[in-house]
């Protein structure tokens, strides 16, 4: 943990600048309305399999039923070629999704390919009221329900643009075939889209509220233990992040029991809430921060290393010391540090070893120490 003053100062300044920039970028991203959620692999796989089903139905629609027909725009060979290429595109993106779940450009691109494929099918269909129009609705609902309102709105705008283009290209066909049933079909389509948007908005709000109530510690606003393990497991399962090291910081408040004994639990609760705020303000929004127990806090940090987190640990101790002086309480942090997978084959093992390192640090110094997993206790410290 030791370093020359200049080196430590440079590391601290660089660490603070990087974390401030990361925090600003993440805050801007969260402030954007209707942030997209990341569906698990099972949901994304279902969506790709549904696309394959519609592709197969499209090929059957144009090729079965006696004399296969198409509109004057294309012939059957072109239709089959385009639909087969669409199926190949689905398989490629499905394979890509199996390796990396959270790829926003893939979600957008696949949605627009869906819209173009549906538009092509409508142009190729000799029937004026084509089943392809229902594909627009499936694209809107499929993306909105899985990825949130932002992609829902994009799908609505894209569907209207594509439908307007198709209607414009086949305007004379539609003028010849205009009827009351066709007008009501379009009216019902618009009503269903608007109603679906309203339902999706309410579902999204309810989901976020339930997630907040389920995942957050009511006192500090930090993650609770169960939510921390869930999100950490997601990082380990995601192919994009599973191989990246994770640094674990376990912090325990020293002498917190005296605050409860001397001032009451209501004051102790306010102290915990304030310390939770101090910790959350010292890290990036991409870091996982949880109240792990009564006066224990656990941090899981990505894209960093033990040396940088050591600087963070020292800064947390300094921040708490300054806060304690201002509020006339005697508190400090005992901190243990470790890294996955260097200090354990699974995250549970690493957390246990980091907890042991924190406890050894508390015994060695009587509080206020920092100890890495496998690091020897300072000379002269209590065993």
- pLDDT above 90: percentage of residues in the chain: 37
pTM of the model: 0.56
Residue 237 pLDDT level (bands cut at 50, 70, 90): confident
Tokens 């224990």 appear where? 296
Q: Which residue would you say has higher pLDDT here, 37 or 7? A: 37
Residue 201 pLDDT level (bands cut at 50, 70, 90): confident
CB within 8 Å of 96: residues ≥ 6 apart? 103, 106
> Domains plus CATH for the chain?
5-30+221-372 (3.30.70.270), 41-214 (no CATH)
The mean pLDDT value for 153-161 works out to 89
Residue 5 pLDDT level (bands cut at 50, 70, 90): very low
Cβ atoms of residues 277 and 225 within 8 Å: no
The mean pLDDT value for 343-367 works out to 88
Tokens 């950490």 appear where? 232
Angle between helices 256-263 and 265-280 (to 10 degrees): 140
Backbone angles phi, psi at 291, to 5 degrees: -85, 110
Cβ atoms of residues 257 and 325 within 8 Å: no
The mean pLDDT value for 69-97 works out to 90
pLDDT tens digits along 18-29: 444 444 334 333
pLDDT tops 80 at residue 383: no
Q: Decide: residue 292, CB within 10 A, 0-12 exposed, 13-18 middle, 19+ buried.
A: buried
pLDDT tops 80 at residue 381: no
Residue 177 pLDDT level (bands cut at 50, 70, 90): low
pLDDT tens digits along 312-333: 999 999 999 999 999 988 999 9
Residue 6 pLDDT level (bands cut at 50, 70, 90): very low
Q: How many residues does the chain have?
A: 383
């Amino acid at each position: 943990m030791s370093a020359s003053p200049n080196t430590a100062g440079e590391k601290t300044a660089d660490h603070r600048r990087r974390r401030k920039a990361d925090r600003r970028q993440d805050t801007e991203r969260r402030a954007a309305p209707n942030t997209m959620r990341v569906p698990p692999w099972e949901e994304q796989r279902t969506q790709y399999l549904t696309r394959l089903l519609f592709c197969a139905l499209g090929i059957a629609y144009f090729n079965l039923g006696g004399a296969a027909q198409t509109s004057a725009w294309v012939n059957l060979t072109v239709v089959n070629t385009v639909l087969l290429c669409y199926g190949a595109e689905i398989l490629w993106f499905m394979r890509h999704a199996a390796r990396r779940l959270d790829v926003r450009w893939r979600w957008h691109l696949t949605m627009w390919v869906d819209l173009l494929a549906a538009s092509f099918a409508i142009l190729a269909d000799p029937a004026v009221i084509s089943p392809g129009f229902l594909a627009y609705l499936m694209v809107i609902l499929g993306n909105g329900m899985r990825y949130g309102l932002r992609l829902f709105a994009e799908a609505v705008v894209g569907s209207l643009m594509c439908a307007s283009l198709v209607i414009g290209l086949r305007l004379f066909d539609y003028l010849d075939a205009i009827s009351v049933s066709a007008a009501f079909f379009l009216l019902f389509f618009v009503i269903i889209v608007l109603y679906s948007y309203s339902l999706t908005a309410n579902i999204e709000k309810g989901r976020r509220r339930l997630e907040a109530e389920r995942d957050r510690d009511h006192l500090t606003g930090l993650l609770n233990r169960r939510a921390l393990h869930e999100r950490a497991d997601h990082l380990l399962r995601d192919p994009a992040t599973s191989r990246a090291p994770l640094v674990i910081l376990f912090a325990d408040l020293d002498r917190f029991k005296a605050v409860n004994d001397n001032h009451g639990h209501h004051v102790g609760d306010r102290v915990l809430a304030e310390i939770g705020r101090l910790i959350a303000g010292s890290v990036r929004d991409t870091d996982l921060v949880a109240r792990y127990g009564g006066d224990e806090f656990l941090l899981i940090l990505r894209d960093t290393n033990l040396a940088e987190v050591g600087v963070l640990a020292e800064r947390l101790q300094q921040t708490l010391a300054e806060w304690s002086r201002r509020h006339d309480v005697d508190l400090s942090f005992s901190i243990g540090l470790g890294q996955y997978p260097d200090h354990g084959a699974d995250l549970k093992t690493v957390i246990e070893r980091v907890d042991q390192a924190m406890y050894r640090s508390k015994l060695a110094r009587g509080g206020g120490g920092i100890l890495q997993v496998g690091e020897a206790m300072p000379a002269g410290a209590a065993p």
